[in-house]
Amino acid sequence: MRRLWTAAEVQALRVFSSQENIGALASRIPAHSSGAIHCKLRELGLRCLPTKRCGVPRGTRAWTEEELEYIRANAGRPRKEIAAILGRSRSAVTLIGHKRNLWGSSRTYKHWTSGDDFRLMSLTEKHTIRETAERMNRSWASVKSRMLHLKIRALNGCFSLEEAARETGYDPYQLQRARAALGQTWRRCSTQYVISTEKLDALCNYLKEEKWGHSYDRAVNQRAS
């Protein structure tokens, strides 16, 4: 049942709203909930003090031009560090950066080309994601995201058709013939096919059974030694 406001309660709102937040007013006037007090304040045209969050009053600390300029000048640094220096939360720094377009001037997206994709596939043969990122001058997150997009894993070797031919000693026609016989699907990167190590081994095993050369065995032994 809705409780009516008494003259004494309304007077208490008028006197203490400028000195206390909504929680303190609710403790002072226990007959009404915080929501009811908030609605009554709006009806009377009054405002109470903002509720404190993590020791900082909500809505009372505006962004200064010096802070915005600092974010713009250091946009390349981790946002957690910027937030710690400014005494703000990471989410607040991220939000104001997007609202004021502070990240765009110093954080530019580096597009992936077909050559980058093929180099990424080649580097993952012997290197971890972090090592691959260092060699490609990209961030770990960028490399990881691209690997997920291309559906490749770290330390998972791959060869172009020409590289596979040089590695195994079989010519491209023989490899394509074995591919058709085994029903393999090769991933295509730009104008080149990309063959994983597992699929290449399967091709060579098939070709060896047909006695189509054995230089792949010699190449494997050389790599092992």
Distance CA 156, CA 153 (A): 6
Token couple for 222: 């050389």
DSSP for residue 156: -
Q: Is the pLDDT of residue 179 over 80?
A: yes
Q: Give the DSSP letter string of 98-137.
A: HHTT-STTT----PPPHHHHHHHHHHTTT--HHHHHHHHT
pLDDT tens, residue by residue, 129-163 = 777 888 888 887 788 788 888 877 554 556 777 77
Tell me the mean pLDDT in the region 208-221.
Answer: 55
What pTM value is reported for the model?
0.30
| Domain range list for the chain | 7-53, 62-99, 114-224
What's residue 108's pLDDT?
Answer: 57
Between strands 52-53 and 56-57, the pairing is antiparallel
Instruction: Identify whether the C-beta of residue 125 lies closer than 8 Å to the C-beta of residue 158.
Output: yes
Distance CA 9, CA 29 (A): 7
The band of 105, judged by pLDDT with boundaries at 50, 70 and 90, is very low
Tell me the mean pLDDT in the region 17-39.
Answer: 85
What's residue 54's pLDDT?
Answer: 43
Max avg pLDDT among 7-11, 157-161, 206-210 = 7-11
Average pLDDT value for the chain: 77
Instruction: Identify whether the C-beta of residue 111 lies closer than 8 Å to the C-beta of residue 77.
Output: no
Give the strand order in the sheet containing 192-196: 158-160, 192-196, 187-189
What's residue 109's pLDDT?
Answer: 64
Return the minimum-mean-pLDDT range out of 32-36, 72-76, 193-197, 204-208: 193-197
Distance CA 166, CA 172 (A): 9
> What percent of the chain stands above pLDDT 70?
79
What's residue 104's pLDDT?
Answer: 64
The band of 88, judged by pLDDT with boundaries at 50, 70 and 90, is confident
